[in-house]
Structures are given as C-alpha cells and as structure tokens.
Structure 1
C-alpha cells in the first residue's frame, strides 16, 4: 500500500507545466456517507476547492457532482476522466466525455452513465478527474483518490438499500386505470397507489391529494359522470383505509369530458377509464386548521 501512495505522489509529474491541481493529501483523504430515505450522498472533500460527490436520489441512479467554494474554473466545458492509477502501468485514462461548467457552487452534475463508470473506476483503483482548459492555455484539474473508497462505498450501498422506490418528482403525479370498465382497483392500480402512500408517510410535508375521475363515452353522460365519481371514490377509500384523512383529499369527477385518446377503439376507451392522482405539499398535518370530514367534490359534465 505504501508503494501505491508513493506512486500517487508522482502522478502529476507528467501534467502540463501550467496545470493547477486540486487534491487532498493522502493522509487526509476521507469519504463520508450521508443520506435518508430520499437521497444518499458519498463525498470526498477536496482541499482548497470543495468536494466531489456522488448523489443518488430515490428512484434514480447516481450522478457525480463537483462542488466548489468559489467559481475557480470559470465557464465552458471540462473533460471527465476515470484516470488510471500510476501503479498499474500500461493502463490509460478513460475519457468519459465533457461536462458543462456552471458559475455557482455546484459546477456540474454528470450523467448517470458517467457516474456509474466513475464508481466502477474507483472500485478498480481509478481516480475521478475533472480537467478544465482555459482560453489562455492554463489547465486546472480536480482529482479524487480511491483511498479508503471500498469501505465507504459499502456504507453508501447500505444507504441506497433504504431509499424509497421513487422520489417526489416521480411520484407526485400518476394515474390508475380501470381496463375492465368497472370501479374496482386491480393489482397494478393498488401497487401504484401503495408507492404514493409510502412516499406520503415518509414525507409529512406531502399531505394533500387531488383525485380526478374519468370515463370513456360508452354510456350516457349522466352514467359516465357517475362512473367517474365512483372510480375516484374507490381511490379515496384506498387512501382512507391506509391512514389518510378525508380532509386531505380533494375529489373531482368529469365523466367523458377529458379523454386521453379518441374513443374510437377498445384500447383507447380503456385508456380513458382512469383516475388521475396528484400529490401536493402543504403545512404539516398538525399545523393545518380543522376541516370538514367530507372530501371536497365537484363534477363537470
């Protein structure tokens, strides 16, 4: 291991003479893991610069983020590399493409594919490197080192295992269908609602639900409106049975008025038999003034 450390110290001898490199001294390198049900972060601080950070939100793969105390790199683009370790001769750097450098504290967010290859590289002893060339020929680099990575990555994977199935952007709008034409929730519908319910229970600021029931045009207008109402009520009853209060739910029903697809085939009509669900953020439940026990309901014909 000592030989690897010494080799790392000489890694910059081949860099251009004008290169400015930011990295943490070997004896000071640390990886930290933080997170909750919504997001996990695996971070290496970079001395005098900021940090390199893998961020994985619920329902997504990780991205790599470069954070800076100041706008040290300027604008433009930079090259992202999985750089070979100096103790592994004959292995070249892997060019992962370019990233666009911003002007704030977060200089860039990589793609998920780039982050995945950086993680694989770290496991294999490679270093994530961000290389930026200015217009006057100056080169600056930020380098993370793989020292102590494997232990931290195991902790990070433990955090990832506890993430929710989806994040708020993914779960805030959804819909359930009634392909058979009735009013009962089928297995896929219940599974989709369960994901939304799980998120609401984890995030108390998401405590409002809007339900909009719809039908196809198979019946007359009054029948279709009633079907759309009963479908929305079926979804409401699911949430109520799982601890959501009626006062948190707004219910509307529209009959055949807003089709997703023209009612010209059985497939299209099945698409139109649905309830759209939208989750909203509000004040925590204990701060909300008491409301009527019945859901707000409105109908449009």
Structure 2
C-alpha cells in the first residue's frame, strides 16, 4: 500500500519535477532529411513565363525556387506528408563543404512550416539570400520541431548546384517583361473612317503574339470590330470588318496560327457609350481583343 502511494505520488509530481530527467534519459532522436551526398538531383525548368529550380528530398518532399514573369522570386519547401498545424522553423546556411570547420553559420530567416502544399514559403529577400548561399557552397538547413516532438533538419545540398543555377539565371533573363493581365484584354480606338493600326497598336500586338507563343493555355484570340452610328448600317458593318481584319492580318504576320483567331465584326451594335457626342462616338469606334484560356 505504501509502495502504491509512493508510486502514485511520483506519477503526480514527476510531470512537474522529473520531466527534465526523463527527457534527458529518453531524448527523442534528431531526424535529418537530405539527398545522399553526390546524388543530388537539382533540376531547372523554364519558359518565358516561369523559371524553376528544384531539388527532391528523399522521404520528405521537394524544395524549389521559382519566379514568374513580372513577379518577384520565392522559395517553397513542400512536405509530402503535410503538417496539421503551423510549426516554427529556422532557416540557416551552414559553411561550405570545403570549410567543414568554419564556425560561421548564417541565419537566413525565421518562418513557419504550415498546413497545405506550400509548407515553408520564403519571399523575395530570403529566397535570394538562400540562392546566394547555395551558389557559394553553403548548405541550406531548415530546422523545426515536428508535431511528434522530434527535432527535424531538412537540408539542401550545394553539390551539383552551380551548373543548374547558371541555367536558371539564363532563364530569368528570358522572362517576358509583361504578364497575362497586360494582354488579357486590349482595346484599340480609331479616328473617323480610320482602319489603320498605330505604332502603339502594333507594339501591343507584338506583345500579344509573344504571350500566345509562350503560354500553351491560350485557347484562342477573340477579335471583334465595332463602329459608331455616323454612317449607314452597311458602311458601319464594312468599316468594323476592315478594322478587325487589319488586326487579324497583323497577328498572322507576327506568327500567330490562323486557327487560334476568332474574328467577327458587329458594326454599330453593342455601343459602350452614347453616339450623340464626339467622345461617345470615339469610344465606340474600336476593336476589342481578348485572350481566352482553355
């Protein structure tokens, strides 16, 4: 009976006073995830719309840098087995492999590993720091305490990084200086009885042609010509046709496949402004170009 009392008393008080001893005696193991030395599989993928630089991490997930046209770069560490709650993480750069005894370790930043496919997300500044450290031979480490209480380190090795990084930088130089939003819808306006494209119009059409060539998700380009009500119906239909076909012909000359073009004209139908003022009629003399995605 006395022994049971002592045991019960130890169980009650042990959590408060003895947990340090227990944790010392039965310390949870430190878990590390990294590619085997010499078997790093850094990979670059690129297009005029996006550049990516990734490294698979066996039994864990994947880390990747990426940058989209007109957007800042970022880094994502994705864990295949997603966490269920946010966990604090410390991102550090360890000394180059050829300086194993160098005491200098740099803190790149503090972050969280969060539920969802993005895991750890680093914005521009921290992503660029990480790229620079890796290019200089530093190992990038992500340290956190797992939901099960294990100390975890996920490592990105600089081995085989340099050649792929050079390709990534070249890809960045080829990103389009504009995005889908800049070409999704375009409206050209015309003077009275005018059907000619201006230099500014042609510049925008070149951007449209470039974007269509780069984005396989563009299903077709819709081109619709319009007129004001100043002429007869037949004349208005004809001039709206000339305007739409001038756009079509220039896009084809730029290399846009004819099959991707849907061209029509509506004359004075569907005005966007009243036709009883000069400003209203000028707004209605137009061609509207839309890029339609699949």
- TM-score bracket, normalised by the shorter chain, equals 0.5 to 0.7
Task: Select which of 61, 64, 71 maps to 1:50.
Answer: 61
RMSD between superposed Cα atoms in Å: 4.3
The whole-number CA distance in structure 2 between the counterparts of 1:232 and 1:137 is 66
Instruction: Name the CA distance, whole Å, in 1 between partners of 2:226 and 2:110.
Output: 47
Following the alignment from structure 2 to structure 1, what is the Cα–Cα distance between the partners of residues 274 and 111?
A: 44
Match in the other structure for 2:169: 157
Distance 1:145 1:253, change over 3 A: same
CA deviation digits over 1:45-70, x for unaligned, max 9? 323223212233455443323344x3
Instruction: Confirm or deny that 1:31 pairs with 2:42.
Output: yes
Query: Which of 80, 84, 88 is the aligned partner of 1:75?
Result: 84
Query: Is contact 1:173-1:276 (8 Å) kept?
Result: no
SS in 2 for 1:212: strand
Offset, 1:31: 2.4
Residue in structure 2 matched with residue 295 of structure 1 by the alignment: none
Larger Rg: 2
Q: Is the 8 A contact 2:91 2:109 kept in 1?
A: yes
1:114, 1:241 → 2: CA distance?
44
Unaligned runs of 5+ in 2: 1-26, 96-100
Shift of 1:141: 3.4
Shift of the alpha carbon at 1:175?
0.3
Contact 1:131 1:142 in 2 (8 A): yes
Taking the aligned partners of 1:89 and 1:133, their CA distance within structure 2 comes to 24
Q: How many equivalent residue pairs?
A: 260
SS at the partner of 1:53?
A: strand
- Using structure 2 for the length normalisation, give the TM-score: 0.64
Q: Deviations over 1:109-130 (max 9, x none)?
A: 5544543343234335554444
- Asked if 1 retains the 8 angstrom alpha-carbon contact of 2:52 and 2:66, the reply is yes
Please give the TM-score of this superposition, normalised by the length of structure 1: 0.63
Q: What do the CA deviations read for 1:93-119 (whole angstroms, capped 9, x no partner)?
A: 1215446331x5x64655445433432
Instruction: Go from structure 1 to structure 2 and tell me whether the alpha carbon gap of 1:114 and 1:212 turns closer, same or farther (over 3 Å shift).
Output: farther
For residues 119 and 247 of structure 1, do their structure 2 counterparts lie closer, same or farther at Cα, with a shift above 3 Å needed?
Answer: closer
Residue 154 of structure 1: CA displacement? 0.9
Task: Find the counterpart in structure 1 of residue 291 from structure 2.
Answer: 279
1:93 is the counterpart of 2:93: no
